[in-house]
Amino acid sequence: MKLRKGSRRAVGFRFGIVAAKFNAQVTSRLLHACVETLTVQGVPQENVMVVRVPGAFEIPLVARTMAKSGRFDAVICLGAVIRGDTPHFEYICAEVSRGVGQAAVDTDVPIIFGVLTTETVAQAVERADTKKFNRGGEAAKSAIEMVMVMRKIQGGR
């Protein structure tokens, strides 16, 4: 049995990033860490396209459109959905995760789910802290690894 692992060196890869504007104090940090991680791994700025959308609910459509364009090796989705006093949280979380997953299956392009779903603002801020475990940077690492995995499976293209 051959185990196929990806690398995290991304020279020549092209990435689309869809980032929600809502909860900007969190999503801006996720975006910054994501782009910084890609840059450190060898991705030139011209190989990264960032599209900002109003909120998390709008992420799947743009992610799918970017993936279908053929311009990107992977698409990274960043957002923050924070529980409030209504069931809105459950509906948004369910639809965003379903939509992102479906977009990946429909397009055969890695689409990374970097959308925080937290109970409190404090939890979201903690997960976007660059001194701790910033999910934006981790989403970038996952995207790089998935591009490598897919290339190996598809015959090294």
Per-residue pLDDT reduced to its tens digit, 90-111 = 999 999 999 999 999 999 999 9
CATH of residue 105 = 3.40.50.960
Distance CA 41, CA 4 (A): 20
User: For residue 40, is it within any domain?
Assistant: yes
User: For residue 129, is it within any domain?
Assistant: yes
pLDDT at 107: 97
Domain limits for position 140:
23-150
Q: How many residues does the chain have?
A: 157
Quickly tell me which residue has 């802290």 as its tokens.
Answer: 129
User: For residue 15, is it within any domain?
Assistant: no
Catalytic: which of 4, 9, 71, 88? 88
Tokens linked to 13 = 């890869």
- Asked if 88 is an active-site residue, the reply is yes
User: For residue 16, is it within any domain?
Assistant: no
The count of domains in the chain is: 1
Prediction pTM value? 0.92
